[in-house]
Chain A
Amino acid sequence: MKIPFSLSILMLVAGVYPATGQTMSPSDFTFHSAKTWIILAFIITIILLVASVALREKVAALRKHYRIKRKEENRTELEDYIHHLNSSQIETILKCRGKKKVANLPVVFIFLLGILNVNIAAAQSGNRSLLGEGGIIITLILVLVPILVGLFLLFIKITNALNRQKNELRLKEAEKLSDYLKELPEEADTALKKRKAALDYSLTHSELSGNQPAEDVKGLLNINRSAGLPVVAVKKKALPRPHIDPALSRLVLWYLACATFWLLFGTTVGEYIGIKFVAPDADHLSWLSFGRLRPVHTNSVFWGWASLGMLGLGYYVVPRVSNAPLASMKMAWWALYLINAAVIAGTICLMVGINNGGGEYREYIWPVMLLFGVGLGLTLMNYIRTIAKRTTREIYISNWYIVAAVIFTIVISLAAYIPYWQNGLGETIIQGYYMHQGVGMWFMLFTLGIVYYFLPQQLNKPIYSYSLGILAFWTQILFYTLIGTHHFVFSSIPWWLQTVAIVGSAGMAIPVIAGTTNFLMTFKGAWYKINDSYTLPFFLVGIIFYFTGSMQGTAEAFRFTNLIWHFTDFTVAHSHLTMYGIICFFLWACIYAVVPRLTGREAPQITIGAHFWLALIGLLFYSIPLMYGGTLRGMMWLEGKPFIESVTMMAPYWLWRAIGGSLMWLSHLFFAYNIYKMLTSKYTVDIREAAIRKLQEQTNMESSPVT
């Protein structure tokens, strides 16, 4: 694999030009049209007109000033000036008057200004009649440019001269004022002193607080005296929580660390195959060819990253909301080993060319998927046994979603891998069912369960409506199970089955709207918390995509939209909006919420911010061009254009996808770094702790340090 990375970047950049050329429709502006010239002449006329009016106004104002000054009636006006003096000015005046000295004001010469009679209209003569001929136009421009520049300079000169004139007048007035001040009688001093005292009055700043020294008896204040200027907005730190069983902590952290590894691995592969759309000859190795790497990407982010991430968070949530310890730590570890083994083995199999048959997300052969299935079975037993030992009467809604997701996924895997109904079209019907249940009943259901725990916890308030959550739960089961075959609309599977899938897709609006409402209403009254939390923005993005991504799925299922969008990259954009926008953002939110509680260490806020923004912007760069290009491609197919034209048309959109993908990939590097920082941070001596310990040693006390 010797494709230089810089080369692909270069190709990406080089392709931007056709991209902009393709997407923007050129305006019909031209210098060859008479209309353009008339408009230009008109604009110039307007500018000159405005300039002349402005000059006229200035001259008029000056002349008015002269006329007024000729009448000597400005006594009251001078008194007015005195009234508006500030304290320090009064002080200076008093001093001067005390010294009885005459302060000489500098004298400035008056510049006389010749009256300029600018014939503005002359400048624009002739440029209307001679249009059309290129040579004449160029000549006109050449003539017009110095004239316009000259006029502009003239305007500035006149304005400056007028300004000087105005200042001259003001200085004269100042002279008069100083004379007046000198002539004022003695008693005016006392009046001025009084006025100064009044102006100098101020409160003592202790009217409300009294003169007692401040004391924080309740320990509410925590002032950091050496705080530097922050680079990013300062967010709240995670609160220290009651202790969690270290064995459980270790387990959850291992799940999350493995998940992070698979995220990095899977999206590195994804990034690379995205680049292959732009540079198909990047390498010629069979193991790295597009068709083999594509399932490696999808399966490792599915079964490696998202699944392990969810399960890890599940191992935290299930015991917590059951208020009981996890039933078996050993089984949980075995599940982790098995699932990791499945993804490793599956990845190797796919890369050497062992593929189950090409059904999406079903590319792992059954012995590999069996490892994953056993892992899920162990997890299910573990979760249910934990819930059975619960000390609460009711089962919190999170556990409904989480356990149901595990049960359903086992059912789905069995349906997909048992061979008795897989011949001919049977395979296609099962494939439609499998690929969508995998997404909706495994990732979506499980993640919703986690969010029902972590979102209220992060907002520090209960979920808005328990019953909406329950409604969403049952309607999700009812409608989601039906929609699988909408991936095969217009194919040879039975027409009624396609219709059922489309109706089910429309029905999905109910759980989606119920869920979104529930989350947003939980936010109600706590929106301000987004400002100082670094987890809530992830939740919010997840909620927004939960609504838009899911409703987009409904829209895609209709027959007409299928005509345009099916088989195009629109589907790819949709799957990323949902799997990435919903699942990944929710998982990140929950991981950033839980890991600091387990380790007591937080990631730097600046890298969390970088992760968030790169992921969000990258996702938009990725999906919007693909949706746009996918739509155009579908339209070309509808019009019956040659297929290859639809391939060349997509090139700029594939390029944007690669750019967006690179940003997303970069954000994962930040995420991995954050995980690393939360798991291990270098040991630094806590001065206060160390001092206390020293003190304890000295006094030979045997108590443990306060945490």
Chain B
Amino acid sequence: MKFFDNHKKLFGTATIMFVGLTLLVAIIPAINNQQKNRPLPDAEEMSPEAVKGKVVFIANGCVACHTQQVRNVEMDKTWGSRPGLPADYAGIKRTDFWRNTATLMGTERTGPDLTDIGNRQPSLDWNLVHLYNPRIVVKESVMPAYPWLFTTREQASASDVVVNVPEAYKKGKEGTVVATEDALHLVAYLQFLKQTPLPGNNAPEFLYTREGKETVGSGNTPGEMDGKALYIANCQACHQANGEGLPGAFPPLKGSSIVTGNNLQLYVDIILNGYDARPEYGAMAPVGANLGWTEHEVAAIINYERSNWGNDGEKVSPEEIKEIMEFIQQQTK
């Protein structure tokens, strides 16, 4: 064609076509979304520590392995109670003069999604130990260790946050491991990462629901749930696969008087609402409450913990647990 024998016309046409399509599928939708969406009314303001922690998160390229998006498909229900919405990201603005906005949605899930990690794993102690070397608490983990976020002191001062690192992981360094500001900020950021509840109760539904098989956290099934799977997914990171916990950080469940004893009410309360009564151990998060567990999950977990690692406790029924849960709820009100 003669038209295309003119380089100005040829490249002009191609450019116009490309720029036009770019406007249609990228620039205009981007501007549109930027103007239209507003953060949720209940969205928490980021603390200055969390803001600094996010910078640490970006600098270390954590987004390479951790997504921050709960897709509207059933399989993502593990990562949050509702699908992500444009409003969840609406408050994120340009980081600074040098750096672009970081929604950190990510494209790889080599490690877990972090959208709701603040609810799932809020423990400062656990996060610090895990950052020092993930394999202290999760043996199978392939996450990098971040020892440069910590220093070793001969004597920790009162203001220092001491991290209980087993000797084997200290690589011959003497002294106590202390978290730097960066580590504390990073944990502050991780603790900040929580799904904001929606006003009213009209969250969009998850698609591609699994038929037949019930999922963790959706509770209305009769019959027994898989206590082992629940334990692996929600408890094992601290209490470990062998139920022995980590000395100085997380208490053992093996032979624990709470697990095998008679005070079922305390046991259920800890699972639902967490525990911080023993100074020698880190605080436990309200795991059950965060994940909206019903009596079925709680009973399955209790039965798993009571019948493993040599524990020999009485079996409980969901009905029993339901009663206790209702009682606890009345008490806290």
Interface residues, chain A, with chain B CB atoms under 8 Å away:
276-277, 280-281, 284-286, 289-292, 294-295, 350, 353-360, 362-363, 365-367, 384, 387-388, 390, 393-395, 400, 403-404, 407-408, 411-412, 415, 417, 419-431, 433, 437, 441, 474, 477-478, 481-482, 484-485, 487-494, 497, 500-501, 563, 567-569, 571-572, 637-645, 647-648, 654
List 17 interface pairs A-B (beta carbons < 8 Å), by A numbering.
A289-B61, A291-B64, A350-B61, A365-B99, A394-B4, A415-B26, A419-B94, A423-B34, A424-B89, A424-B91, A425-B103, A433-B22, A481-B21, A481-B25, A563-B75, A567-B107, A642-B229
Which single member of A289, A294, A424 contacts B33 (CB below 8 Å)?
Answer: A424
Contact with A along B26-43 (1 / 0, CB 8 A): 110111011001000000
Q: How far is the CB of A28 from chain B (nearest CB, A)?
A: 27
- B25 contacts which of A400, A482, A488 (Cβ < 8 Å)? A482
Query: Which chain A residues border B26 with CB–CB below 8 Å?
Result: 415, 429-430, 433, 484
Residues of A within 8 A of B100 (CB): 356-357, 359, 362, 366, 417, 419, 422, 427
- The one of B67, B142, B147 in contact with A647, judged by C-beta atoms closer than 8 angstroms, is B142
Contact A429 B21 (CB under 8 A): no
Of all chain B residues, the one with the shortest Cβ separation from A645 is: B232
B328 to A: closest C-beta gap in Å: 27
Shortest CB-to-CB span from B126 to chain A, Å, is 15
Contact B18 A640 (CB under 8 A): no
What residues on B are CB-neighbors of A641 within 8 Å?
229
Given contacts A281-B145, A289-B60, A393-B5, A426 and B30 within 8 Å (CB-CB): yes
For chain B, the bracket of interface size reads 35 or more
| Interface assignment of B46: CB less than 8 Å from any CB of chain A | no
Contact of B141 among A280, A359, A430 (CB under 8 A): A280
Beta-carbon nearest neighbor of B109 in chain A: A567
Given A415-B22, A484-B26, A643-B233, A291 contacting B144 (CB threshold 8 A): yes
A356-B100, A357-B58, A427-B101 given; A567·B108 CB < 8 A = yes
Residue of A nearest to B93 (CB): A423
Interface string of B62-73 (1 = CB under 8 A from A): 111101010111
Beyond A294-B64, A395-B7, whether A568 also contacts B34 by CB under 8 A is no
* Residue of A362, A488, A490, A654 with most partner-chain B CB within 10 A: A490
Least distance between A95 CB and chain B CB atoms (Å): 86
Asked if B78 and A563 make an inter-chain contact with CB atoms under 8 angstroms apart, the answer reads no
- Residues from chain A with a CB closer than 8 A to the CB of B181 are none
Which one of B75, B208, B210, B229 has the highest number of Cβ atoms from chain A below 10 Å of its Cβ?
A: B75
Judge if B143 is at the interface, Cβ distance under 8 Å: yes
Q: Is the CB of A493 within 8 A of B7?
A: no
| Minimum-distance CB pairs A-B, first 8 | A291-B61, A353-B59, A567-B109, A490-B71, A426-B30, A357-B102, A358-B63, A433-B26
Residues on B with beta carbons closer than 8 Å to the beta carbon of A363:
61
B86 at the interface (CB under 8 A from A): yes
Q: How far is the CA of A478 from the CA of B59 in the complex (A)?
A: 36
Residue B51 lies at the interface, judged by CB distance under 8 Å to chain A:
no
- Is the CB–CB distance between B59 and A426 below 8 Å? no
Complex Cα gap A367–B138 (Å): 40
Residues of B within 8 A of A481 (CB): 18, 21-22, 25
B22-A289 in contact (CB<8A):
no
Closest chain-B Cβ to A314's Cβ sits at a distance in Å of 15
Do B107 and A421 touch across chains, with their CB atoms under 8 A apart? no
Shortest Cβ distance from B150 into chain A, in angstroms? Answer: 11
Say whether B14 contacts A290, CB under 8 Å.
no
- The reply to whether A289 and B146 form a contact with Cβ atoms under 8 Å apart is yes
Contacts of B93 in A (CB 8 A): 423-424
Chain A's closest residue to B149 (CB) is A286
Pairwise interchain contact B99-A357, C-beta atoms closer than 8 A: yes
Given contacts A276-B144, A356-B99, A387-B7, contact A295 B61 (CB under 8 A): yes
Q: Which of B66-122 contact A (CB under 8 A)?
A: 67, 69, 71-73, 75-76, 78, 83-86, 88-95, 98-112
Closest to B17 in A: A477
Q: Is the CB of B30 within 8 A of A284?
A: no
Residues in chain A near residue B111, CB distance under 8 A: 647
Q: Which residues of B contact A404 (CB under 8 A)?
A: 11, 14-15, 18
Residue from the set A359, A367, A390 with the largest chain B CB neighbour count within 10 Å: A359
B25 touches A395 (CB 8 A): no
B198 within 8 A of A: no
Given contacts A277-B142, A481-B22, contact A490 B72 (CB under 8 A): yes
Given A433-B25, A481-B22, A482-B25, the answer on whether A422 and B101 have CB atoms closer than 8 Å is: yes
A291/B25 in contact, CB under 8 A = no
**Assembled-state Cα–Cα distance A698/B69 (Å):** 83
Is there contact, CB below 8 Å, between A294 and B101?
Answer: no
CA distance A420 to B34 in the complex (A): 9
Query: Could you say which residues of chain A place their CB within 8 Å of the CB of B215?
Result: 640
Alpha-carbon distance between A642 and B234 when the two chains are bound, in angstroms: 9
**Set of chain A residues within 8 Å of B5, measured between Cβ atoms:** 393-395
When distances are taken between beta carbons in the complex, the residues of chain A under 8 Å from B103 are: 424-425, 427-428
Interface residue ranges, B against A (CB under 8 Å): 4-5, 7, 10-11, 14-15, 17-19, 21-22, 25-27, 29-31, 33-34, 37, 58-65, 67, 69, 71-73, 75-76, 78, 83-86, 88-95, 98-112, 133-135, 138, 140-148, 207-208, 210, 213, 215-216, 229, 232-233, 236
Pair B58/A358 contact, Cβ less than 8 Å: yes
**Shortest Cβ distance from residue B28 to the other chain A in the assembled complex, whole angstroms:** 9
Q: How many angstroms between the C-alpha atoms of A363 and B72 in the bound complex?
A: 28
Say whether A421 contacts B143, CB under 8 Å: no
B143 pairs with A492, CB closer than 8 A = no
Contact for B86 among A425, A478, A490, CB less than 8 A: A425
B-side contacts of A477, CB under 8 Å? 14, 17-18, 21
B296 to chain A, nearest CB (A): 15
Nearest CB in chain A: distance from B232 CB, A = 4
Cα A500 to Cα B10 with chains together (Å)? 27
> Knowing that A424-B34, A427-B100, A478-B21 are A-B contacts, what are 11 other residue pairs whose CB atoms are under 8 Å apart, sorted by A's residue number?
A289-B60, A353-B60, A427-B101, A433-B26, A441-B18, A484-B25, A494-B33, A569-B110, A571-B107, A644-B140, A647-B111
**Are A280 and B25 closer than 8 Å at their CB atoms?**
no
Whether A425 lies near B89 (C-beta < 8 A) is yes
B58 neighbours in A (Cβ, 8 Å): 355, 357-358
Q: In the complex the two chains form, is A400's CB within 8 Å of B64's CB? A: no
Query: Could you tell me the distance in whole angstroms from the C-beta of A476 to the nearest C-beta in chain B?
Result: 10
CB distance from A230 to the nearest CB of B (A): 46
CB of A638 within 8 A of CB of B75, answer yes
Residues in chain A near residue B85, CB distance under 8 A = 492
For B142, what are the chain A residues with a Cβ–Cβ distance below 8 Å?
276-277, 280, 647, 654
Q: Which residues of A are found within 8 Å of B73, using beta-carbon distances? A: 490, 563
With A and B bound together, what is the CA distance between A620 and B88 in angstroms?
A: 40
Q: Is the CB of A429 within 8 A of B29?
A: yes
Closest chain A residue to B100, Cβ basis: A357
Q: Give, as a whole number of angstroms, the nearest-CB distance from B35 to chain A.
A: 9
Task: Quote the shortest CB–CB distance from B39 to chain A (angstroms).
Answer: 9
CB neighbours (8 Å) of A643 from chain B are 78, 112, 233
> Closest approach, in angstroms, between the C-beta of A383 and any C-beta of chain B?
10
CB atoms of B107 and A358 under 8 A apart: no
Does A572 contact B108, Cβ atoms closer than 8 Å? yes
* Chain A residues in 8 Å Cβ range of B64: 290-291, 294-295, 358
The complex places the Cα of A285 from the Cα of B145 at a distance, in Å, of 9
State in angstroms the CA–CA spacing of A643 and B103 once bound together: 23
Which residues of B have CB within 8 Å of A639?
Answer: 210, 213
Of A360, A365, A474, A640, which one neighbours B216 at CB under 8 angstroms?
A640
Residue from the set A426, A430, A497, A637 with the largest chain B CB neighbour count within 10 Å = A426
Residue in contact with B90 in the complex, picked from A291, A425, A642, CB distance below 8 Å: A425
Answer whether A366 and B31 are a contact pair too, CB < 8 Å, given A395-B7, A477-B17: no
Q: Which among B26, B63, B135 has the greatest number of chain A C-beta atoms within 10 A?
A: B26
Report yes or no: B59 in contact with A487, Cβ–Cβ below 8 A. no
Contacts of B15 in A (CB 8 A): 404, 407-408, 411
Determine if B72 and A424 form an interchain contact, defined as CB atoms under 8 angstroms apart: no
The residues of B that contact A563 with a CB separation of less than 8 Å are 73, 75, 208
